[in-house]
Structures are given as structure tokens and as C-alpha cells.
Amino acid sequence: MSLTERIAALEAELENAKARTADEVEKFRVAMLGRNGAITELFETFKQVTSEEKRALGQRMNQLKQAAQARLETLRSAVEAEGPAQQGPSIDLSAPALTEPLGSHHPISIIRDRIVEVFGRIGFTVSHGPEVEDDHHNFGALNFAPDHPARDMQDTFFVRSADPAQDRIDGIDTTITGLHPNELALRTHTSSVQVRVMETTKPPIRTVSPGRVYRNEAISARAHCMFHQVEGLYVDKGVSFAELKGTLDYFTKSMFGPDVTIRMRPSYFPFTEPSAEVDMSCTICGGAGCNICKHSGWVEIMGCGMVDPAVLANCGIDPEEYSGFAFGMGVERIAQLIYRVPDLRMYWENDVRFLDQFTAATFRS
């Protein structure tokens, strides 16, 4: 290649030179004007040419060098004008992924699902029923006497009939007197679901019914007008109280750990005979005594008993052939013992600072 051709080739190269980053600008500088750069080397060659050629090409050589310097400045200021963000590759593949804030399951859902799962392991299915119930399923079939106080307006939310004529009995406005014809109510427990299961299923029956229940309570740290239950029912030939106790012992150990023990105290429910309250050794203080167990070392966690033969008969199951046990617990209560939530109202305020704390548990359950 003659000197003229080399000059022309470099002129073209300068024209086309591009740089997107400061590094590329520097590479361009080194390649052209550095100690071993193309233009620097061309000047070395130029020293050796004849004086005739020097005269002919000297000016063009100087212009080439100036053009290279000008191009370098142009590229440098263009890259600087783009700002630092553009100086690296546009994606940093080594950067950690952006984390979207995670939602969480509600603590009551988490505990409800765990309770259901623990019973599922020993063969209990899950049953659901309506939250608006009739008297028969919520009370009648369960042996509540017609004048049982649980049917009273104090405890039960009755649902007004869609038919305004139903609001009057013998011409008296029952919405004022409280003598409302109580054909429908918000269920006060999920025992109503068990009635529905017994009415439609031939034993053996092993099922739990989780769900919302409603009672007319003043809202406080310890009570709410809506809460959640998981009730359980087992009906088969020869079901015994010992099996009830064994099942609940299995449940509490599965939920709270192998060290907890349970005890049963005689109690009363219209639909079970005999009936018992189940206490668990206090997991908060380990039995030493604390506020949660009212310094007794025991916390009440559920009610239970052998299904009253009259209830089986009400649901079309022969009590001579079958027996069964039932139990029922409040999910909020179990959750309180696990999460130590001091005030029931926190469950329903939906404060994200409260709910966020259950994100990890959501993905464990």
C-alpha cells in the first residue's frame, strides 16, 4: 500500500469511527494516536520518504492527524453528554432480581388450613355449608330445646325475611318487639354443616367443617361478632370416647408440638353426651402460669363429646348401630396461641404492618 493509499484508508476509518462508551473512546485514541497507533506509525514511515514526497503529502499528513484529534473530541463529548448511565452495557446481568413485595395469606387462613391439614392426614374430609342457616340445621336437629338461650336474640343474628308480611305476627311488628319469625339466621357454629353431612351421608363419616360463624357479641379485644371455627365429626360402628381423646391428643401435638398434653373437663352441649371442654397445657408459659392461661397452666381450646343418640336419630342415622364423636374449636383462639396476637380486632383491621408479618408463614403452610 502506498503512503497515499494508507492516508486515504485512515481518513475513511476516521469518518466511520464510533464509540458508545468512554472505554471505546479510549480504544479509538490508542488505535489512532497512541504510541503504536496507526497515525503515529504513519508519521514514522513518513520520516523515511523522499523530500519530494514529504512536500507533496506533508500537509495531508498534518490534516489527517488534526482530523483524528477532532474525531476523538467529538466522540468523547458525545459519550459524556449521554451521561454515566449509558457508559456500561445497558443491562447488568449480574444485578440481583427486583423483588416485588409479596402478599401474604391471612393468619386465620393459615391456621385454618393447618388444622384442616392435620385432620386430613388421618382421613378427615372437608365439608362446607351455608352461612345463612335455618333453625333446623343450626339448632333443632342438634337437640336445642325450643326455649334454649342460644336461640335468643342475644346470641343469634336472625335474617329478616324478604317478605315484609313475615315481619308481622298477629298484626304485631316483630322487628320492633324482637319476636322475629326466625326461619333464617347466621349460623352460630359449623355444627350445622355436620347435620347436613349426616342427613346425606351413610356412615362411616369422618369430616371437618371450617368456616365463619356469627354471634351477637360486643366487639372487644377478646370477642367479635364474627369468628371462625373448625368442627369435626366422626360417626361409625363402635366409636368410643377413647378414640375422641386420642384424636384430640394427636391434633394438639401436631399443632403445638410433642410436649403439650391435654385434659378434659366435664361440660354440657345439647348435641353431645357426655360432653367435655378440652384444655391444653399452656404453650406460652409451659405451665408456670401467665396472663394467657390466667395463671392456671392450662388453656381451653375446644369443646367436644360423643354425639347424642337423639342427634343421630334426628339426622336419619340409627343410634343402635352407630356412635360418633364431635368437637369444635375457634380458629382465632388457636391462632392466638400460636402467633400471640394480643387483640382479636387486629385480625380484621387489615393493617399491612400486621399482615406483612405472615408472609413467610404463607409459603410454609
Residue 316's closest CA among 136, 180, 179? 136
> How many other β-carbons are positioned within 10 Å of the β-carbon of residue 33?
16
Please tell me the distance from the alpha carbon of residue 342 to that of residue 222, in angstroms, as a whole number: 9
Amino acid identity at 270: P
Only segment of 46-54, 95-103, 301-309, 337-345 that touches ligand PHE (CB under 6 A): 301-309
Helix (H, G, I), strand (E, B) or coil at 275: strand
Q: Of these, 138, 252, 272, 281, which contacts ligand PHE (CB under 6 A)?
A: 272
CB 239 within 8 A of CB 206: no
Q: Of these, 14, 304, 311, 344, which contacts ligand PHE (CB under 6 A)?
A: 304
Please tell me the distance from the alpha carbon of residue 149 to that of residue 245, in angstroms, as a whole number: 29
Residue 17 or 213 with smaller CB distance to ligand PHE: 213
Q: Does 283 bind ligand PHE (CB under 6 A)?
A: no
Residue 326 or 331 with smaller CB distance to ligand PHE: 326
Question: Which residues in 202-241 contact ligand PHE (CB under 6 A)?
Answer: 231
For the record, the C-alpha cell of 141 comes out as: 336437629
Only segment of 7-15, 254-262, 320-328, 357-365 that touches ligand PHE (CB under 6 A): 320-328
Q: Of these, 328, 334, 336, 337, which contacts ligand PHE (CB under 6 A)?
A: 328
> Closest distance between ligand PHE and the C-beta of residue 152, in Å?
15
> Closest distance between ligand PHE and the C-beta of residue 142, in Å?
8
Helix ranges (DSSP H) in 182-228? 191-200
CB-closest chain residue to ligand PHE: 328
**Would you give the end-to-end CA distance of the chain in angstroms?**
77
Q: Does 327 bind ligand PHE (CB under 6 A)?
A: yes
> Closest distance between ligand PHE and the C-beta of residue 311, in Å?
10
Residue 210 or 305 with smaller CB distance to ligand PHE: 305
Residue 195's closest CA among 150, 143, 117, 122? 143
Residue 11 or 199 with smaller CB distance to ligand PHE: 199
By CB under 6 A, the count of residues binding ligand PHE is 12
Write the DSSP assignment of 221-240 as a string of letters.
SS--SEEEEEEEEEEETT--
Q: Of these, 228, 305, 324, 336, which contacts ligand PHE (CB under 6 A)?
A: 305
> Closest distance between ligand PHE and the C-beta of residue 209, in Å?
10
For the record, the C-alpha cell of 155 comes out as: 346470641
> Closest distance between ligand PHE and the C-beta of residue 211, in Å?
11
- In this structure, the chain runs to a length of 365
For the record, the C-alpha cell of 67 comes out as: 482530523
Write the DSSP assignment of 12-29 as a string of letters.
HHHHH---SSHHHHHHHH
Question: Which residues in 157-196 contact ligand PHE (CB under 6 A)?
Answer: 189, 191
DSSP state of 106: -
> Closest distance between ligand PHE and the C-beta of residue 329, in Å?
8
Vertex 276 angle, CA 262 and 299, to 5°: 40
Q: Does 303 bind ligand PHE (CB under 6 A)?
A: yes
Q: Does 332 bind ligand PHE (CB under 6 A)?
A: no
Which stretches of the chain bind ligand PHE, using CB under 6 A? 189, 191, 231, 269, 272, 275, 303-305, 326-328
